[in-house]
A = this chain, B = another copy of it.
């Protein structure tokens, strides 16, 4: 074993020493280079400055610096449909030869034909039927391997790039900026928890245990003398809308001080966060950039944003304009 402990102790001492001696200058480099100067970038900087200033009236100790992020439409692209839905459709097509009975069912037939609109005609019930057939019956580890393998090869139809490259560079900078200032960030998503865990560490630097999402029931059992956990085709927690505060309280056990969302499904999470006492930050990403990404809000079936947008001014939430506030959208952009 290497001598980790003494070296750590020496570093701790050094940190304390340089901490006392370092001049309190502005950072030499901009931690948010993809953000244009303006009210939203200023709101981010002001909030972090206020809650990290020791002795200041808004100071929050690092242990309470909890930030929560929606995923679809907040950290990565959610149009023309949720990425997980494309995964589900590809899985249905892959499994179809082994399930000839699916041809009797119009929802499955449409999914196998790749007709998303037709498959979705049966509403949430139809989608949950597809989701269960495509994703259940395996262990969490097996499912994550399936999702990882798919993410490694699948390509978005518009940009012809992997979905994990269609994440928002400015939001990656927010995650890094908060992390460097002692925050612990969590993903709080309506999507399936194990789907997001398949890429969150590599893509966002967020480890699996800091991902909260919707879940299938897990059934414990035994096979070949080993414990098994089987994902059943039955949602036992929906981490969306009023479910988000429940998921946060259950999993994190602390009320966040900062929340980032983009749709009405984040309304309760934004409220729960900003209704707490002391300085809080609520931010809504508005997709108003049809040229570089998409423009949608009130009329959209995916990521509908109406109520949260209307209430933003009175609740003190900042509305990020993708078009105005972001210098670039994706990591690969110039």
Task: List the interface of chain A (C-beta within 8 A of B).
Answer: 1-8, 10-11, 14-15, 18-19, 22-29, 31, 45, 48-49, 52-53, 63, 140-141, 144, 180-181, 184, 186, 193-194, 197, 201, 207-211, 215, 218, 220, 226-227, 229, 242-243, 245-246, 249-255, 268, 271-272, 275
> Using Cβ atoms and an 8 Å threshold, which residues of chain B touch A249?
140, 218, 229
Q: How far is the CA of A246 from the CA of B236 in the complex (A)?
A: 13
Separation in Å of the A211 CB from the closest CB of chain B? 7
Partner of A245, one of B19, B63, B208, B220: B220
Q: How far is the CA of A180 from the CA of B3 in the complex (A)?
A: 10
> Using Cβ atoms and an 8 Å threshold, which residues of chain B touch A181?
1, 4
Q: Is there an interface contact between B14 and A11, defined as CB atoms closer than 8 Å? A: yes
Not counting A1-B53, A6-B29, a sample of 4 additional A-B residue pairs whose C-beta atoms are within 8 angstroms of each other reads A7-B22, A193-B250, A208-B254, A227-B275
> Using Cβ atoms and an 8 Å threshold, which residues of chain B touch A28?
3, 6
Q: How far is the CA of A141 from the CA of B276 in the complex (A)?
A: 11
Given contacts A140-B253, A271-B227, is CB(A5)–CB(B29) below 8 Å?
Answer: yes
Q: Is there an interface contact between B3 and A19, defined as CB atoms closer than 8 Å? A: no
Given contacts A22-B7, A27-B5, A275-B226, is CB(A210)–CB(B207) below 8 Å?
Answer: no
Partner of A254, one of B23, B29, B52, B209: B209
> Using Cβ atoms and an 8 Å threshold, which residues of chain B touch A250?
193, 215, 218
